[in-house]
Amino acid sequence: MFNYLRKRFTSHIRERSRRRARLVSKDGRCNIEFGNVEQSRFVFLIDIWTTILDLRWRYKMTIFISAFLGSWFLFGLLWYVVAYIHKDLPEFNPSINHTPCVENINGLTSAFLFSLETQVTIGYGFRCVTEQCATAIFLLIFQSILGVIINSFMCGAILAKISRSKNRAKTITFSKNAVISKRAGKLCLLIRVANLRKSLLIGSHIYGKLLKTTITPEGETIILDQVNIEFVVDAGNENLFFISPLTIYHIIDKNSPFFHMAAETILQQDFELVVFLDGTVEATSATCQVRTSYIPEEVLWGYRFAPIVSKTKEGKYRVDFQNFSKTVAVETPHCAFCLYNEKEAKAKEKKGYDNPGFVLSEVSETSDTKM
């Protein structure tokens, strides 16, 4: 009993570790880490726009809040310094005829409030700059210009982050598993993909990459070697009419990397199938890419997808997403090579073949009869 539990636990740990070792997650995120990068981090600050857009929301909002609070407080200090130098503060006991640079600045708190009101153009009308000193006028102009720049950049970054086509890709979903079964007399690997929005993706194109570790004839080990996988739909793999879920399939022929795999050996294989869908968002004309991946445990041999499109009594077409990833077992050859040989055997049965060892000999008939 103890040995049985230990084997089950070991196999479970091995299976979990294998499932984690994938380059692309199911939601399309790349599991890759860069180490010992010789280039300086300064190059990321040069392309600050892309760096800000690629940040996660918590970091982006931290920068957003810090940029505004920091600029308000910095200029609040400068306004306080101007008032201090010009002796406008109450601690200097200014005379009745004294004209301050900024009206009603009594300390650091009021200077901060004036900085906030100036940069966001609130304009309460209680604190204002006078024409008494040019320094205050120059500082007012400088803060107004810098405030517009900060506001445009940060708000533009937030808007660009929200409207990125990457978010549109979240409404494109792939089936949880890929299946292998016969389709139109050929052994195929099938994947189902659906658009959850009614707006279309224009000029959609589907393709795949098979990632595996290969050893070249020269003895070089190539990790994550990429092999092209062609996917097609009945109407072609380009300019898809993506209004309802589609089943894309890859024909397993002699040129396919799946040709030498079988139902009994596919789980022992070490590969990752990454599927890509490129298209243009109809609403924004921005291009987007959706990707997912399948490891051997997620490729079901001898299954097909259950139907999900039906027609209602009102004449509308209904898509039941409850059966989107549901599979049904079907009779399937256990390898592509067997199906190929079976077709060849049936083709030979319909043909006649000459036997080179067969010789036709003529027999002479005699008419003599003995009485």
Q: In the Cβ-directed half-sphere of 88, how many Cα atoms lie within 13 Å? A: 26
Tell me which of 163, 188, 220 is where a domain ends.
163
Note whether residue 5 is domain-resident. Answer: no
Where does the pLDDT of residue 353 fall: very low under 50, low under 70, confident under 90, or very high at 90 and above? Answer: low
**Cα 237 from Cα 296, distance rounded (Å):** 24
Note whether residue 12 is domain-resident. Answer: no
Take residue 337 and report the two structure tokens written for it: 């090579």
pLDDT at 326 over 70: yes
Q: Are 230 and 293 within one domain?
A: yes
Q: Do 90 and 80 meet the contact criterion of CB atoms below 8 Å apart?
A: no
Take residue 294 and report the two structure tokens written for it: 């399948």
Note whether residue 230 is domain-resident. Answer: yes
Residues 6 or more apart whose CB falls under 8 angstroms from that of 140 comprise 118, 129
**Cα 137 from Cα 82, distance rounded (Å):** 11
Give per-residue pLDDT as tens, 40-82: 667 777 788 888 888 888 999 999 999 999 999 999 999 999 9
Q: Do 102 and 132 meet the contact criterion of CB atoms below 8 Å apart?
A: no
**Cα 190 from Cα 179, distance rounded (Å):** 5
Note whether residue 364 is domain-resident. Answer: no
What is the bridge-based pairing of β-strands 299-301 and 178-183? parallel
Q: In the Cβ-directed half-sphere of 317, how many Cα atoms lie within 13 Å? A: 7
Residue 47 C-alpha from the chain's centroid: 22
Q: Which has the higher per-residue pLDDT, 82 or 347?
A: 82
Length of the chain as a residue count: 371
Q: In the Cβ-directed half-sphere of 212, how many Cα atoms lie within 13 Å? A: 17
| Residue 179: predicted pLDDT | 94
Q: Are 293 and 332 within one domain?
A: yes
Residue 265: other Cβ atoms inside 10 A? 13
pLDDT at 242 over 80: no
Measured CA distances, 62 to 131, 168, 215, 359 (Å): 37, 25, 47, 94
- Total count of domains within the chain: 2
Average pLDDT of the residues in 275-300: 87
Q: Are 228 and 84 within one domain?
A: no
pLDDT at 18 over 70: no
Note whether residue 18 is domain-resident. Answer: no
Q: Are 312 and 228 within one domain?
A: yes
Note whether residue 217 is domain-resident. Answer: yes
Structural domain span for residue 285: 168-348
pLDDT at 364 over 60: no
Q: Are 150 and 175 within one domain?
A: no
Q: Are 138 and 189 within one domain?
A: no
Give per-residue pLDDT as tens, 93-120: 888 888 899 988 999 999 999 999 999 8
DSSP 323: G
Q: Are 316 and 329 within one domain?
A: yes
CATH of the domain at 103: 1.10.287.70
Q: Are 174 and 123 within one domain?
A: no
Tell me which of 163, 196, 229 is where a domain ends.
163
Q: Do 300 and 226 meet the contact criterion of CB atoms below 8 Å apart?
A: no
Q: Do 176 and 27 meet the contact criterion of CB atoms below 8 Å apart?
A: no
Q: Is 257 exposed, middle or buried (0-12, 13-18, 19+ CB in 10 A)?
A: middle
**Residue given tokens 């279309």 in the structure block:** 200
Q: Are 189 and 141 within one domain?
A: no
**Cα 191 from Cα 168, distance rounded (Å):** 20
Q: Are 145 and 242 within one domain?
A: no
Residue 75: other Cβ atoms inside 10 A? 23
Read off the pTM: 0.69
Q: Which has the higher per-residue pLDDT, 244 or 120?
A: 120
Tell me which of 121, 137, 163 is where a domain ends.
163
Q: Are 84 and 207 within one domain?
A: no
Note whether residue 2 is domain-resident. Answer: no
Where does the pLDDT of residue 370 fall: very low under 50, low under 70, confident under 90, or very high at 90 and above? Answer: very low
Note whether residue 271 is domain-resident. Answer: yes
CATH of the domain at 284: 2.60.40.1400
Average per-residue pLDDT in the chain? 82
Q: Are 63 and 110 within one domain?
A: yes
Where does the pLDDT of residue 371 fall: very low under 50, low under 70, confident under 90, or very high at 90 and above? Answer: very low
**Cα 86 from Cα 106, distance rounded (Å):** 13
Q: 84-98, 207-221, 317-331, 350-364: which range is least confident on average?
A: 350-364
